[in-house]
Structure 1
Amino acid sequence: MTTQPDGTYEMIITADSIQSNEPDTDSYTDPSFFANMGSAYTPEDVKFKPADGEPIKRNRNKGERRISCQTLPRLTCQVFEDKLLELPYDKRESFPICRYGLDKPLITGIFPDEERFRSGCKNSIEYVRYWRGTDVQMYLYCWNIFSTLFFVQECLKRFGKPNDAFILRYRRKTSQEASNADASVEEEKGYASPDDEKPPVYNNKYSQTLLDSKNIIFRGAPGTGKTYLARQIAADIVSDGKRGDWSKLDDEQRRRIGFVQFHPSYDYTDFVEGIRPDTEETDATGTHGFSIQDGIFKRFLDKARDNVEQSRLSKEERREPSVRERLDAYFDSLDFDDNQFRISTGKPFQVTNVTEHHVLVYAPHGIKQELRIRVQDLLALMQSSTPPTNGEDVHHILERKRRQREDSYAFALLQEIQKHKPSSASRASEKVLRKPFVFIIDEINRGEISKIFGELFFSIDPGYRGPAGNVTTQYGHELYVPDNVYIIGTMNDIDRSVDTFDFAMRRRFRFIEVKAEDGLDMLEELGGLSEEAESRLTKLNETISSPDIGLGSDYHVGPAYFLNLSKSESTAKAFDDLWRDFLQPLLHDYVRGMYNETEIMEKLKAAYEDASDSPQPAERSV
């Protein structure tokens, strides 16, 4: 190892050793030797030298210092980001980071946010924050340039190849640098980035809760605005804190929000995948055929997973079109009125149309002249590691028991598609950021959870996101929930359409109660009726919870019911109509069967009517 110029030293870190050309530190395997003396040194340059490629340096965020005590662990996170994020949460939070001596405790943990770091590792500012995009964040202990050598070596041991190495060039601090070391702590920790490059600041207080927890359920009485709140949070997150209103999102942001409402007959076929009627496949009698089709959640996961995969591509890889893009580009260039192909036997055929699921083929030689080739079969053939060499290979690759007539036509089309070279100029070369996707399940407790989710019970667990939670579906397809997917459920506590919420699923969600008073702001859209509406609602709910009624807060009336007030009627009539048509039927269902049912209803009505003459409620603090 050669001596560096300008009084600097070079350290080479591999999975098995640490070597430095500084005198008396030529070769050590214990990182704690250096960790104890790290405060006296400052870094000059850091790079990763893979065994079979060009050196890699830190891709800095704007405003991030070119070199600091944080650069080595940040570069390590950058190099091994995918592998680290694939680890389940419990494995991440026990990941080795630092030790200040063989007899000292091991500091462990890679955490998703500062709060988790402070509670799970150390309640201090001694950490490095690595982040990219909107939802990739890692916090781990770091104080000086040598304090994360243990972490670097552990990553090399677990994820690296033989002869992979990190190279750190460093020098001793001057006396002035040593005396001013504490002055730059905030800058060292990465807080100097410009506002537009910092992680987003969200408007809704529950947005960060969802990002930290992955899965949350809003529970509470009917009409408290749980679904409205879920949509606000989704809009807040997919817009990086710039929009809190669903209606103001652009098309790209809306595509990253999924929505479904569960009900008692909803099942796995609707949600994940199943055999369903194929409206494009009919026989001579007009009877529909059947095929395996993706459910709404699986289609949503495919979009999120595609975003993750695109974000991992290098600039060179982004110039290469994906399999789907190659297929789409080919059929976009095809003239459906004037094309002709031949199968291996020489028989001609023509492609007449392409739908979402099928390529429609006209084959004049044969009893059945109109054929349908499944698009997903073509994609599977294009992605196969052993491409077919003839029509006979097709059904083996697609794992079908017997050959079909369509196989010869699929093989002929495959050969034509492979000849077609779409222009790479049409493919954006900009780096794709990993983006958050939010899926809302309204009335989640009204469905039979175990029947709907099936084996995805495992994959939606926050600790098993990404490939670590890969499962095989009931139809033999591999599936996992990407780390950039967040799930919001809503449920009414008093709904009895399903008796219990599955306990296996319950522990995978964070439950947050939404009370009637939490949504009072929605009454502002009532204009002049808002104050009286709030007064009547407050008095009515106080009476519902009173000892002589005893229903409790689960039976409170939510403010959403008051949005049914008619603005075209007089104030008195509007409130009378609301009671008669909306509130009275609801409350009567609550108390039906009680021995003093009539008396309770009279008390509730009196509270609702008396509130119109009572003092207005005090102004709420924001």
Structure 2
Amino acid sequence: MAYKQNLILQGPPGVGKTFVAKRLAYTLLGARDESRIETIQFHQSYAYEDFMQGLRPDGAGNFYLRNGVFYEFCKRAGQSDQPFVFIIDEINRGNLSRIFGELFQLMESDKRGPAHAITLTYSEERFFVPANVYLIGTMNTADRSLALVDYALRRRFAFIELAPAFGVKFQALLEKEGLSTEFIHILVNKLEFINKVIHNDRNLGSGYLIGHSYFTHPQMPEKEWFLRIIRLEIAPLLREYWFDEPDQAEEQIQRLLA
């Protein structure tokens, strides 16, 4: 990440994208220092005025200039030589061109610092992204309602794909939490089977797999806990995946519940 300074963690639901982003931030900082981390979440109403700078009503019929969260973050980072990490959860939910505006060029690692400062849209102030700022975004690859990521953003970010991990470490975690070895094997076999079905479906694929984080906080009794997650979280997701093939959805749900 050091060479690019901008990273997006992408993957299907439940692979721990936000969890990994926070741990990666701690690694970059060299400490669990929340004062040097800012976390926000993009949505369809999020705008440049929220992110950078904009005019806001003051309640008396006038407008004032208010700085956005990224502007304030960069100002804090510019007063320090230590690394700062800005995390954007669900980065592909926002209108990226509208949110970033002229910042696209400033996000590049070789365009950091005062030598590349530009004038902002709402003020005459010259602004730059400090060299010690790192950006980490997360992106859900299974949300059909979202448009493809802006190519201007793709060129400025490195991308890492996170996948479901039902291997040795996951199984050791469940065993440590008190689940029986036999039940862990049943759980893993069921989830690996449904993920194979999803992966081989020409309308879905690897971006729609079921992640391990749905099952990282087990409760007892183990069977009831597992069935509750399937009914309340996984089943609605599968019905959405196969919205045009309800028989397929119900077949796979019943296989998980069996």
TM-score range, shorter chain: 0.7 to 0.9
Conserved? CA contact 2:74–2:129, under 8 Å: yes
Within-5 A mapping of 1:76-155: none
Matched with 2:207 is 554
Greater relative contact order (Cα 8 A, min sep 6): structure 1 or 2? Answer: 2
CA apart distance, 1:604: 4.9
Partner of 2:64 in structure 1? 291
Match of 2:22 in 1: 231
Q: Report if the CA contact (8 A) 1:224-1:518 is conserved.
A: no
CA-CA distance at 1:261 after TM superposition: 0.3
User: 1:598 pairs with 244, 247, 253, which one?
Assistant: 247
Counterpart CA distance in 1 for 2:107 and 2:207 is 28
1:541 and 2:195 correspond: yes
Partner of 1:448: 95
Cα pair 2:230 2:257 within 8 Å, conserved:
no
Where does residue 574 of structure 1 map in the other structure? 225
Matched, 1:270 2:61: no
Q: 1:529 aligns with which of 151, 164, 179?
A: 179
Aligned amino acid, residue 197 of structure 2: T
Q: Percent identity?
A: 39
**What CA deviation, in whole Å up to 9, does each residue of 1:487-526 have, x standing for no partner?**
0011011223331211111100011101112898567267
Task: Name the SS of the counterpart of 2:78 in structure 1.
Answer: helix
Aligned equivalent of 1:504, options 121, 136, 152: 152
Does the CA contact (< 8 Å) of 1:519 and 1:559 recur in 2?
Answer: no
* Aligned counterpart in structure 1 of residue 132 of structure 2, from 481, 484, 487: 484
| Unaligned residue ranges in structure 2 (runs of 5+) | none
Distance 1:537 1:520 in 2: 14
Cα deviations across residues 363-413 of structure 1 (Å, max 9, x unaligned)?
xxxxxxxxxxxxxxxxxxxxxxxxxxxxxxxxxxxxxxxxxxxxxxxxxxx
2:96 and 2:212 map into 1 onto residues whose CA distance is 29
Please report the RMSD computed on the Cα atoms of aligned residues, expressed in angstroms.
2.4
Find the aligned partners of 1:227 and 1:515 in 2 and give their Cα distance: 13
Query: Relative to 1, partners in 2 of residues 1:483 and 1:550: Cα closer, same or farther, differing over 3 Å?
Result: same
Kept after mapping to 1: 8 A contact 2:42/2:92: yes
- Work out the CA distance in 1 between the residues paired with 2:197 and 2:257: 12
Question: Which residue of 302, 321, 339 maps to 2:75?
Answer: 302
CA contact (8 A) 1:544 1:556 kept: yes
TM-score for both structures, normalised by structure 1? 0.38
Q: Distance in 2 between matches of 1:267 and 1:520?
A: 43
Give yes or no for the alignment of 1:587 onto 2:238.
yes
Work out the CA distance in 2 between the residues paired with 1:231 and 1:522. 19
Structure 2 SS opposite 1:560: helix
Distance 1:605 1:212, change over 3 A: farther
- C-alpha distance in 1, partners of 2:166/2:120? 40
Specify whether residues 590 and 271 from structure 1 end up closer, same or farther in structure 2 by C-alpha distance, changes over 3 A only. Answer: same
| Rg larger in structure | 1
Q: Report the CA distance shift for 1:212/1:534 in structure 2 as closer, same or farther (over 3 A).
A: farther
Cα distance in structure 1, aligned partners of 2:133 and 2:168: 30
Conserved? CA contact 2:117–2:128, under 8 Å? yes
Give yes or no for contact 1:536–1:609 (8 Å, CA) kept in 2. no
The correspondence of residues 141-540 of structure 1 with structure 2, limited to 5 A, is 210-238=1-29, 240=30, 243=31, 249=32, 253-278=33-58, 287=60, 289-307=62-80, 434-475=81-122, 476-517=124-165, 521=169, 524=173, 527-529=177-179, 531-532=184-185, 533-540=187-194
CA displacement 1:388-441 (0-9 Å, x = unmatched): xxxxxxxxxxxxxxxxxxxxxxxxxxxxxxxxxxxxxxxxxxxxxx21111101
State the TM-score, normalizing by the size of structure 2.
Answer: 0.88
Kindly provide the CA deviation profile for residues 189-238 of structure 1, in whole angstroms up to 9, marking residues without a partner as x.
Answer: xxxxxxxxxxxxxxxxxxxxx22220010111011101100000101111
Q: Report the Cα offset of residue 538 of structure 1.
A: 2.2
- 2:165 aligns to what SS in structure 1? helix
> What is the CA–CA distance in structure 1 between the aligned matches of 2:136 and 2:143, rounded to whole Å?
18
Q: Output one character per residue of 1:148-186: Cα deviation in whole Å (capped at 9) or x when no partner.
A: xxxxxxxxxxxxxxxxxxxxxxxxxxxxxxxxxxxxxxx
- The SS at the match of 1:266 is coil
Report Cα offsets for 1:63-102 as digits up to 9, x if no partner: xxxxxxxxxxxxxxxxxxxxxxxxxxxxxxxxxxxxxxxx
Question: Cα distance, 1:601 vs. partner?
Answer: 3.0
**What is the distance in 2 between the residues matched to 1:497 and 1:471?**
34
Figure out how many residues of one structure are paired with residues of the other and give that number: 251
How many Å separate the matches in 2 of 1:451 and 1:489? 17
CA separation in 2, counterparts of 1:520 and 1:215? 31
The alpha-carbon deviation at position 541 of structure 1 amounts to 1.2
Going from structure 1 to structure 2, the CA distance change for 1:212 and 1:518 (only over 3 Å counts) comes to: farther
Partners of 1:264 and 1:446 within 8 A in 2: yes
Give the direction of change, closer, same or farther, for the CA distance of 1:306–1:519 in structure 2 (3 Å limit): farther
Give me the whole-angstrom Cα distance separating, in 2, the residues matched to 1:519 and 1:291: 54
Gaps of 5+ in 1: 1-209, 244-248, 308-433, 611-622
Distance 1:519 1:262, change over 3 A: farther
Match of 1:588, SS?
A: helix
Amino acid at match of 2:99: I
Structure 2 counterpart SS, 1:486: strand
